Structure 1
Amino acid sequence: MSETPLPATSAGTPADDRSDRGDRRGARPRTGLPVPARFAVVAVLTATAVVCYLFLFIQGSFDFAFERRLTVVGTMAVVAFAHAVGTVVFQTITHNRILTPSIMGFDAVYILMQTLLVSVFGGSVLAATDGMPKLITQTLLMVCFTMLLFRWLFSGRGGSLHVMLLVGVVLGLAFRSVSDFLQRLLSPSEYDVLATRLFGRLTSAEVAYLPVAALVCVVAGVVVWHRAHRLDALLLGRDAATNLGIAHKRELTVMLLLVSLLIAMSTALAGPMTFFGFVTAMLAYQMTGTHRHAAVLPMAFLIGLLTLVGGQFILEHVFYASGMLTVVIEFLGGAVFLAHLLRKGTL
């Protein structure tokens, strides 16, 4: 008896996307190590990088340097978790390995909000308004934008991957164009103040936001972990997931809300990072060789933390360019993104 194929669902689902199936075959690791062994290797490398960054090459006061480095590691852990988990979940609900919240224009909302603040109230407003009210306000605005746009495009019967991509990219370009226009009207001193908030700043993050961002990551991590099997079902598409007893619309809303909170908190804490989540998610799938989220999610977090801590240690103590990590990650991540897109040949 021939096996009945899964019904075709929305565009880009694993049930009907040959390129996605081919991408999965290419994602299998070439090493013969089992998944637990690969986890152990990455975990040991990550722990080694953290220990080296915290304790090596300390000059002057140990207490001062250790406290500062511990704060930087905490920031990197939050950023790595938010982008890794947020990107993997976002790619699951979009059934696409290329799209990420940042590529879809999420960071453009943050840039526009910061630019409007400086344009209307002056450069001093950024420092004067730092605190929980500003964090909550900009987080709510970014979450509302994401929920209104993506949920409308995902949940409707007429939802389309290409429509979502078009709308997200166009809105992102529109927000960035408005931001660029307003930035040209600023004085040089005001633009310098604004520019410090528009780039990733892992070593000079908003420390006051770190406890709140860490708490959001913990709560989101617990929710996502308990829903890992539902995320596996969502990979099959709307119809197949519904037949398996998954409330597709509700799960979609919950996951979108969690992704929005994670990326909003990370952006508010350390600034926008466009391609970091894409790279960590891609490497996690290649290292695990599976689509099970119980394996992919922790691997993505470990790879992200290893990239940030190890990269910062190398740049700071080998090349003496401590503030260049985000620039290097964005440059290499953009190159990897383009190479992956050209190799795959499709969205």
Structure 2
Amino acid sequence: MVLTSWRSPALRVLVLGVLALLCMVGFMTVNVQTDWDFILQYRGSRLLALLLTACAIGISTVLFQTITHSRLLTPALMGFDVLYVLVQTLALLVWGGSQLAEWPPSLRFAMQVLVMVMLALLLFRLLFSGSVRSLHLMILLGMLAGMLFRELSELGARVLDPSEFGISTGVPQASFRRINTQLLGAAAVALTLGGLLLLRWWRCLDVLSLGRDITINLGVAHGRVVLGIMAVVAILVSVATVLVGPTLFFGLLIANLAYWFTGSPRHCWTLPASVLAGIICLVGGQVLLEHVLASTLPLALVIELAGGLLFIALLMRGVRQ
């Protein structure tokens, strides 16, 4: 019985891995009608960006739902991805476009990630510390925060000189179709750094999902560990946002697919399953829409529609972890 229960999530994750691999092979080979050097350069960079995005959004969403104890809350729903866009705009306002243009793009990205982590920790403490709030109130606060950050970003963009705003990395305009491939190296380094930091609290993840009181009784420094994991979430959100821009329901979709497909709350299964589900949705979706169906329908529209319907269904059922 123990062996069977152990093998079932492993086999399901393996199935997801095979499907993700087939999607990647199809992305690189379907409808290839030109030189392979160009294909490897163009499609290879896009594929790497999609893989980094799937890893960042999948892992950050599962971690965020672990520390908030809700399968409805995600960093995007709480406005953290739009917060990164605001950080980028504020950097241009404070330092000026001409001065930032002298910085290497990776250095600008590192500075923005550092500011993003500090602001995300502050926002997290404001929203989730103190009195216990209802789930519906938290969703409302998160959406209001996202709207506020978005409006402030647009206000800052209007204040900027057009030539200075062009120095921006293009996060507000980035999407699954127009991927920002200029910062692939810096994004990969930031993702690796977030993964290394996560290893420090890896053994605490399953304990955190049991609740604050049980976590403290088991000898885990709950507050410190939660803030550390939130810092990792902020780094991963920055990586995903700089590559494909803000996404609202994608993390909710792939995280809940991982929970449903693995049938296990253990993070050793849900984390890789969420990443693989993200790869299947992003890479497989691009192959299906662009190469198989030859459709001009944006992949983001399909994903956000599916995620939005899932959000409404979960909200009506009141799903809690």
Residue matched to 1:274: 248
Using a 3 Å threshold, how does the CA distance of structure 1 residues 255 and 172 change in structure 2: closer, same or farther?
A: same
1:298 correspondence with 2:290: no
2:79 matched residue in structure 1: 105
Structure 1 pair 48–125 and aligned structure 2 pair: CA distance change class (3 A): farther
Q: Which residue of 2 aligns with 1:151?
A: 125
Q: Aligned to 1:248, which of 222, 229, 235?
A: 222
The aligned runs of 1:1-347 (5 Å cut-off) are: 34-114=8-88, 131-154=105-128, 156-158=129-131, 160=133, 164-181=138-155, 197-225=171-199, 227-321=201-295, 324-344=298-318
In the alignment, the residues of structure 2 paired with residue 271 and residue 237 of structure 1 have an alpha-carbon distance, to the nearest angstrom, of 32
Partner of 1:34, secondary structure, is helix
TM-score (norm 1): 0.78
Q: State the alpha-carbon separation in 1 of the partners of residues 161 and 303 from structure 2.
A: 30
- SS at 2:298's partner residue? helix
- Higher mean displacement: 172-181 or 275-284: 172-181
Separation in structure 2 between the aligned mates of residue 335 and residue 128 of structure 1, nearest angstrom: 45
Amino acid at match of 1:93: I
Whole-Å separation in 2 of the counterparts to 1:57 and 1:312 = 13
Percent sequence identity over aligned pairs: 37
Shift of 1:149: 1.3
Unaligned runs of 5+ in 1: 1-32
- Structure 1 residues 218, 248: CA separation in 2 closer, same or farther (over 3 Å shift)? same
Q: Which letter maps to 1:102?
A: A
Aligned equivalent of 2:4 = none
How many angstroms apart in 2 are the aligned matches of 1:323 and 1:129?
Answer: 37
What is the CA–CA distance in structure 2 between the aligned matches of 1:238 and 1:282, rounded to whole Å? 22
CA distance in 2, matches of 1:50, 1:42: 12
Q: Which amino acid aligns with 1:106?
A: F
CA distance in 2, matches of 1:37, 1:94: 29
- The answer for the alignment partner of 2:3 in structure 1 is none
1: distance between equivalents of 2:168 and 2:111? 18
The secondary structure found in structure 1 opposite 2:293 is: coil
Structure 1 residues 200 and 284 mapped into 2: Cα distance closer, same or farther (>3 Å)?
farther
CA gap of 1:122–1:258, structure 2 versus 1, over 3 A, is: closer
| Rounded Cα–Cα distance in structure 1 between residues aligned with 2:58 and 2:122 | 23
Give the superposition deviation at 1:216: 2.6
Deviates more, 1:145-154 or 1:122-131: 122-131
Q: Is the 8 A contact 1:72 1:202 kept in 2?
A: no
Matched residue pairs, number? 314
Quote the offset at 1:178 in angstroms: 3.2
Structure 2 residue runs without a partner (length 5+): 1-6
State the secondary structure of the residue aligned to 1:220. Answer: helix
Tell me if structure 1 keeps the 8 A contact 2:46–2:181: no
Displacement after TM superposition at 1:127 (Å):
8.1
Q: Which residue of 2 aligns with 1:28?
A: none
Partners in 1 of 2:67 and 2:200 — Cα distance?
Answer: 16
Shift of 1:303: 0.7
* Aligned-pair CA distance for 1:340: 2.2
Instruction: Summarize deviations over 1:288-336 as a string: whole Å, max 9, x none.
Output: 1111111111111111111111001111112334682223222322222
- Spell out, residue by residue over 1:99-153, the C-alpha distance to the aligned partner (whole angstroms, 9 max, x if none): 0011101122233345567889999999887712321232122212210110344
Q: What is the aligned partner in structure 2 of residue 17 from structure 1?
A: none
Alpha-carbon distance in 1 for matches of 2:12, 2:165: 46
CA contact (8 A) 1:198 1:271 kept: yes
Give the secondary-structure state (helix, strand or coil) at the position aligned to 1:208. coil
